[in-house]
Amino acid sequence: MPEPVPSPPTSLVRRARKIDRVLAETYPDARCELDFRTPFELLVVTVLSAQTTDRRVNAISPELFAAYPDAVAMAGAPREDVERIIQPTGFFRAKTDSVLKLSAALVERYDGEVPGRLEDLVTLPGVGRKTANVVLGNAFGVPGITVDTHFGRLVRRFGWTEETDPVKVEHAVGALFPTRDWTMLSHHLIWHGRRMCHARNPACGACPVARWCPAFGEGPTDPAKAAKLVKTEGRA
Ligand code: SF4
């Protein structure tokens, strides 16, 4: 069981929700940038998205799922064929291993279906809490906070938490928002991190939440300089 998180100060809650509202207006299309049609596809593409771009994963996923549309088909796939298809996503041997083991575990333990509970998902080979929350939030409609590198960086810049452990970050930030907002909050922060609030050189001078951000000034504050740092596309 996670340690109970003390109630955050009201001023912090208000500021956090204001930032999320402005980000929601800034990124009305925010969503999972990986293409998928089923929970199984989302689970697989999330595993494949490690250390690469969503665009690369989206480029290979139609061929992968045309050949192996579900866990039963994928569990029986020839390793060399899966390796060939997913090679452009990098680390293809390890990723093939994960996808085959994951599919076999789904067939053996869940009749080939992806379970809709965090505690079950994290028992699957290669599935951590981050992947599980992506699947729950986007394929099952179960609110989840996805603490990836962008999310962690932004919440620390916003001063919402000083934690670095992803589970502690999840609980600290979760306490600031109603549960129903968790999935979209994750998308808003990840989109902002990919487009504007970069790890190095954040576009502070162009940032719509600058006035509520204690880290304003970490990147150029000059609007013209900052505008050049804004990416119109994210990771996709
Ligand atoms: S003001 Fe700068 S550091 Fe703060 S959120 Fe905006 S881009 Fe990121």
Got the DSSP string for 40-59?
A: HHHHHHHHHTTTS-HHHHHH
Distance CA 228, CA 116 (A): 42
- How big, in percent rounded to 5, are the helix, strand and coil portions of the chain? 60, 0, 40
The Cα-based distances of 180 to 39, 99, 108, 117, 175 in angstroms read 20, 30, 33, 16, 12
Active site residue 97: no
In contact, 230 and 26? CB cutoff 8 Å: no
Q: Is the CB of 155 under 6 A from ligand 1?
A: no
Predicted TM-score (pTM) of this structure: 0.89
Contacts of residue 88, defined as CB under 8 A and 6 or more positions apart, other chains included, come to: 56, 59, 60
| CB-side neighbour CA atoms (13 Å) of 123 | 11
Q: Is the CB of 220 under 6 A from ligand 1?
A: no
Give the containing element (helix H, strand E) for 186: helix 182-195
Quick check: 236 pLDDT over 50? no
> Which of these is catalytic: 20, 54, 130, 181?
130
Whole-number pLDDT of residue 64: 98
**How confident is residue 233, by pLDDT bands cut at 50, 70 and 90?**
low
Distance CA 151, CA 184 (A): 12
Domains and CATH numbers, the chain: 10-30+145-229 (1.10.1670.10), 39-139 (1.10.340.30)
Distance CA 229, CA 215 (A): 17
Distance CA 154, CA 9 (A): 19
Ligand 1 atom at minimum distance from 209 CA: 6
Residue range 192-205: mean pLDDT, rounded: 97
Quick check: 216 pLDDT over 50? yes
> Which of these is catalytic: 120, 148, 168, 225?
148
213 in a labelled binding site = yes
Instruction: Give me the chain's average pLDDT, please.
Output: 95
Contacts of residue 130, defined as CB under 8 A and 6 or more positions apart, other chains included, come to: 146, 147, 148, 166
Is 142 exposed, middle or buried (CB count within 10 Å of its CB: 0-12, 13-18, 19+)? Answer: middle
Whole-number pLDDT of residue 7: 85
Quick check: 214 pLDDT over 60? yes
Whole-number pLDDT of residue 225: 97
